[in-house]
Amino acid sequence: LAKTTQPISMDSYEGQEVNITCSHNNIATNDYITWYQQFPSQGPRFIIQGYKTKVTNEVASLFIPADRKSSTLSLPRVSLSDTAVYYCLVGDNSGNTPLVFGKGTRLSVIA
Amino acid sequence: NAGVTQTPKFQVLKTGQSMTLQCAQDMNHEYMSWYRQDPGMGLRLIHYSVGAGITDQGEVPNGYNVSRSTTEDFPLRLLSAAPSQTSVYFCASSYGTPHASYNEQFFGPGTRLTVL
């Protein structure tokens, strides 16, 4: 099971781009990288997933270098509503081992 | 689609009481899971089910029971509540196994449980 390491917290001003990096040195060949977002008093929700290079959707971008030992979630021009905890998950593709959400990164967006 | 629903939203129990947290999904997902989240902590898997009639233990199963009689419902039972079970409980469902990160999990709104 690939263990992930991400910063405990980050602060940003509105309108800035925020990059949250997750380290996963032991990622396996078939593992995918998935990010979830959790707003206060809500359950987590899926925001983006990737295997390599770059993935972009309407919410965020995910950058994965060639060695796949880390990944960076990029949130463009954040607003107050982006204040949340962001979890990086890397899964055992066999599905035999439960995923670990970890403590995530608490992003606080300041006006 | 209502997605994943959980009841109740809030519950206060006394030590030793029992109760059932309800979870239902209308997406026809085979996989359902229960997590608990303690302050400042990530989510920890309690139990999960890969289909009706099949359940398995997660990371922190002690003190909890589950059963899966239908695809839609996955209740979590606390047999004898303890203060250590004070937490927020989330139910989730997914099309594929929750163990694989490429399978998107859909979470309910949570149940906030306090055990006195």
- pLDDT at A5 > cutoff 90: yes
The pLDDT value recorded for residue A93 is: 57
β-sheet bridge partners, residue B34: B47, B91
β-sheet bridge partners, residue B77: B20, B65
Cα–Cα distance, A17 to B95 (Å, whole number) = 33
Write the DSSP assignment of B1-38 as a string of letters: ---EEEE-SEEEE-TT--EEEEEEESS--SEEEEEEE-
Question: Smallest CA–CA separation between B79 and chain A, in Å?
Answer: 24
In chain B, the residue whose alpha carbon lies closest to the alpha carbon of A8 is B40
Residues of A at the B interface, defined by Cβ within 8 angstroms: 31-34, 36, 41-46, 49, 87, 89-104
The pLDDT value recorded for residue A103 is: 86
Lowest mean pLDDT among A27-31, B8-12, B18-22: A27-31
